[in-house]
Amino acid sequence: MTSSSSIPLIDLKDSDDTVLPVLERALTEIGFVMVQGHSVPEHLVRKMRQQLETYFSRPLSEKLADCITPDNYRGYIPLGFFSPNSHGATRDQYEGYKLHNETAPDDPICSVCDLYGPNRWPPMPAQLQETTQAYWEACETTSRHLLRLIAKILDVEVDTFLSLFDQPLTNMTLLHYPPQNEGDTGFGIHPHKDTDALTLLFPDDVGGLWLRPHDDSEWLEVRAPYHSMVVNIGDLLELWSGGHFVSTPHKVVNTSGKERYSFPFFVVPRHDVVVSPLIACQPGFQRQPVPVGTVSREVWRTNWPNAVADETGFDLGTLADHSVDCSRDR
113 within domain boundaries: yes
322 within domain boundaries: no
Q: At what angle do helices 42-56 and 128-154 cross, to 10 degrees?
A: 130
SS3 148: helix
Q: Report whether pLDDT(328) > 50.
A: no
Choice among 74-78, 142-146, 169-173, 311-315 with the minimum mean pLDDT: 311-315
What is the Cα–Cα distance from 316 to 293, expressed in whole angstroms? 13
Q: Report whether pLDDT(85) > 70.
A: no
pLDDT of residue 213: 87
> pLDDT tens digits, residue range 173-231?
999 999 987 777 778 898 889 999 999 999 999 999 999 987 777 899 999 998 999 99
Question: Could you tell me the CATH number of the domain that includes residue 33?
Answer: 2.60.120.330
Question: With bands split at pLDDT 50, 70 and 90, how would you rate the model's confidence at 312?
Answer: low
pLDDT of residue 190: 87
pLDDT of residue 80: 86
Exposed / middle / buried, residue 301 (Cβ in 10 Å: 0-12, 13-18, 19+): middle
**Residue 193's domain spans which residues?**
4-302
Q: For the residues of 103-143, what is the DSSP string, one character each? A: --TTSHHHHH-TT-BPPP--SSSTTHHHHHHHHHHHHHHHH
Asked if 276 contacts 239 with a C-beta cutoff of 8 angstroms, the reply is: yes
pLDDT of residue 90: 74
148 within domain boundaries: yes
Residue 238 DSSP one-character state: H
330 within domain boundaries: no
205 within domain boundaries: yes
- Return the higher-pLDDT residue of 81 and 35: 35
Choice among 41-50, 152-161, 165-174, 315-324 with the minimum mean pLDDT: 315-324
What is the Cα–Cα distance from 118 to 106, expressed in whole angstroms? 10
**What is the mean pLDDT of the segment spanning 16-36?**
97
What is the Cα–Cα distance from 242 to 330, expressed in whole angstroms? 31
What is the Cα–Cα distance from 282 to 289, expressed in whole angstroms? 16
Choice among 39-53, 115-129, 290-304 with the minimum mean pLDDT: 290-304
Exposed / middle / buried, residue 107 (Cβ in 10 Å: 0-12, 13-18, 19+): middle
24 within domain boundaries: yes
Give the Cα-Cα-Cα angle 15, 18, 23 (nearest 5 degrees). Answer: 110
pLDDT of residue 124: 94
Q: Count of domains in the chain?
A: 1
> Dihedral sign, CA of 171, 142, 250, 161?
positive
What is the Cα–Cα distance from 61 to 79, expressed in whole angstroms? 13
327 within domain boundaries: no
- List, as own/partner pairs, every contact residues 14-21 make where C-beta atoms lie below 8 angstroms and the sequence separation is at least 24, other chains included: 16/149, 16/152, 19/149, 20/149, 20/152, 20/153
Asked if 301 contacts 219 with a C-beta cutoff of 8 angstroms, the reply is: no
What is the Cα–Cα distance from 292 to 206, expressed in whole angstroms? 34
Question: With bands split at pLDDT 50, 70 and 90, how would you rate the model's confidence at 50?
Answer: very high
Q: Report whether pLDDT(274) > 50.
A: yes
Using a pLDDT cut of 90, give the percent of the chain over it: 72
pLDDT of residue 147: 98
54 within domain boundaries: yes
Question: With bands split at pLDDT 50, 70 and 90, how would you rate the model's confidence at 250?
Answer: very high
Question: With bands split at pLDDT 50, 70 and 90, how would you rate the model's confidence at 309?
Answer: low
- Sheet of 189-192, strand order: 189-192, 250-252, 209-211, 220-221
Give the Cα-Cα-Cα angle 12, 13, 18 (nearest 5 degrees). Answer: 75
What is the Cα–Cα distance from 254 to 256, expressed in whole angstroms? 5
Q: Report whether pLDDT(4) > 80.
A: no
